[in-house]
Amino acid sequence: MNHAISKLLREPLLIFLVLGALLFGLHTLVNDQSPETETAVRIQVTAADIDRLLGGWERQMGRPAQPHAELALSRLTPIDQMFN
C-alpha cells in the first residue's frame, strides 16, 4: 500500500495537476474579482486595420485573399464606420 502511494506521488502528471490547481486557487484568492465586477474588453477594428490585414496577406502569399477571407473580414464593423 505505501509503495503504491509513494509511486503515485512521484508521478509527474499528478504533480503537474496538483501544482496547477494550487496556482489557480492562489490566483483566485489574490484577484478577488467576481464576474460581475470584471469589465468587458472591446476590440476596435478600423477600416485601415482591415486594409492592412488584406495587404499583408497579399504581400505574404503573393495573391489576393480568397473571397471567404474577405467575407470574414467584412463582417467586422470598423469602429470608424460604427458611429457614422
Maximum pairwise Cα distance, the chain? 73
Query: How many residues in the chain?
Result: 84
Return the pLDDT at 23.
Answer: 95
Please give the backbone phi and psi of residue 3, each rounded to the nearest 5 degrees, phi first: -65, -40
Report pLDDT digits (tens) over 1-19.
Answer: 688 888 888 899 999 999 9
| pTM score, whole prediction | 0.41
Q: Which long-range contacts (CB under 8 A, 24 or more apart) does 74-78 make?
A: 74/50, 76/45, 76/50, 77/45, 78/45, 78/46, 78/47, 78/49, 78/50
What are the cell numbers at 58?
A: 497579399
Report pLDDT digits (tens) over 21-72.
Answer: 999 999 888 887 665 656 677 778 787 888 888 889 899 989 887 777 766 7
